[in-house]
Each structure stands twice: as structure tokens, then as C-alpha cells.
Amino acid sequence: MLRKPEKALDLSHYKIPTHVAIIMDGNGRWAKRRGLPRQAGHRAGAENLRRIVRAGVEFGIQVLTIYAFSTENWGRPESEVRGLMRIFARVLDQEIDELHSQGVCLHHLGELSGINPTLQEKVRRALELTKNNNRLILNIAFNYGGRAEILQAVRQMLADGIDPNDLSEELFSSYLFTQGLPDPDLVIRTSGELRISNFLIWQAAYAEFYPTPAFWPDFGREELYDAIVAFNQRERRFGLVTEREL
């Protein structure tokens, strides 16, 4: 099938956020609107991920983090959880070669031990295959929760016998799943919800938040472009006062 020619989107005059994080929300509602089962929405969402990763590479984003499955999502009906696991396994099987050829380096954020062993093995293989790529770091937050992440960091620091006087924000950050990566500059949430839902609660302390009403399967390359343009209109103050206010 011929792909529709893509509109030229020029970002040369814009600052590209180094790290963009996305709460991919609204798959279920996208499907319901069409009279389809929720699983169809999750499938459409997974397909969309391919488009967004491609656009991320095109736009020169260095780190892209996507929230795929939260620690709280285990509480959904068993059939939905099973369906999501199946999709995740399929994405790893079918997309890994293309991701690798695009120079994508995959990282996993979350507890790998909480997921089924076959899936764990697929994740490990994908991380190993792509570990030397450097075009785009793609963090997949799967079985991820911000609070769980903080607790595992504290547990590990205690186990390492860290002296409380040595504890700093930098040291703490190095115990998180995102160790070594810059904090997100821009957090996008699709589907119109205005909450963080336990996503990168430490790392996103000063991220710009961009909520959009689009459901995740409808959030494409042009919508990502719009988010970057909006990011450029923000004034990041980090608690300071700006020159022109002095």
C-alpha cells in the first residue's frame, strides 16, 4: 500500500526538547467511539507508536519516553491485561528490526520481574540488540509506577549503605530507572485528562505539560509537531524571575 505523502513540517527555527515523555491515553475511548472493543483501540495505539517513533527520529528528539502500562493497570479486567501483554509481545517481535535499523536504543523503565518470563526474555533481547544505537533513546515504561520507582531506589540505597549526608538529588536520580538520562522537558498527555497518573513523578518536576484532547491512536506526526511548537512558546522559569521582570 502506498503511504500518503507526508506534509513537510519545518522545525529548523524551533528548539527541540531533548526529552519528550508521552502518556499514551485514550485507546479505549477511541475504540468505543467506533463501536469497537477496547482491544482494537490498544492495537491502533500500538500502530501509532510506530508513527510517533519515526517522527521523533525525524524531528531530532534524543530521548522519547512512552507510558505503556502502569503498575495500577494490573487492576484492569484480566482479559484486557492479557490483551495488552499480547500486544506488547507482538510489538517487540514485529517492530524490533525496524527500530534497530532506525538507530533506536531501547530502554525499559519499570520492574521486569513482574511480567511473564517469555515477555521478559523478549525485552532483554531487544535491549541487548539495540544497546549501541544512538539516534534516539526510546524508554518504554511498562509495569512502571513513579512511586514504585522511588521505593525501589530507596530500598537499593539502603542496601548499598548510603550515608544520609551523601544523599543528593543527583545521587537519588542515579538510582531511578532513568539513570544517566536528562529529565523530560515536555510531557504530553493525550485524551484530555489533566493528571500525571504516577508517571515520572520525580523526573518531571519541571517538565512543561502539554495536554491534548486527541486520543492516542489519533495523535500523529503533525500533533507531535504542534506540541513542539507549543513547547517553544512556553517560558521555563525553574522558580526564578526572568530578566524582563527585574
State the helix-helix crossing angle for 117-130 and 78-101, rounded to 10 degrees: 20
CB of 90 to Mg ion, least distance (A): 21
Q: Tell whether residue 34 is a contact of ligand IPE (CB under 6 A).
A: no
Residue 95, classed as helix, strand or coil, is helix
Backbone φ and ψ for 131, nearest 5 degrees, come out as -65, -25
| H or E stretch covering 81 | helix 78-101
Q: Tell whether residue 191 is a contact of ligand IPE (CB under 6 A).
A: yes
Of residues 69 and 102, the one with the C-beta less far from ligand IPE = 69
Q: Of the candidates 24, 87, 138, 228, which one interacts with ligand IPE according to CB under 6 A?
A: 24
Residue type, 42: H
Of residues 6 and 193, the one with the C-beta less far from ligand IPE = 193
Q: Tell whether residue 28 is a contact of ligand IPE (CB under 6 A).
A: yes
* Calpha distance 176→200 (Å, rounded): 10
Q: Is 73 a catalytic residue?
A: yes
CB of 146 to ligand IPE, least distance (A): 11
Q: Tell whether residue 45 is a contact of Mg ion (CB under 5 A).
A: no
* Calpha distance 242→234 (Å, rounded): 13
Of residues 27 and 65, the one with the C-beta less far from ligand IPE = 27
Q: Of the candidates 20, 44, 63, 69, which one interacts with ligand IPE according to CB under 6 A?
A: 69
Q: Of the candidates 17, 21, 48, 67, which one interacts with ligand IPE according to CB under 6 A?
A: 67
Piece in contact with Mg ion (CB under 5 A), picked from 18-26, 91-99, 131-139, 166-174: 18-26
Q: Of the candidates 23, 24, 25, 46, which one interacts with Mg ion according to CB under 5 A?
A: 25
Q: Which residues contact 207 (CB under 8 A, 6 or more apart)?
A: 21, 183, 184, 185, 186, 187, 200
Tell me how far CA of residue 1 lies from CA of 84, 147, 172, 221, in angstroms: 27, 44, 49, 19
- Chain positions contacting ligand IPE, by CB under 6 A: 23-29, 67-70, 73, 84, 191, 193, 195, 197
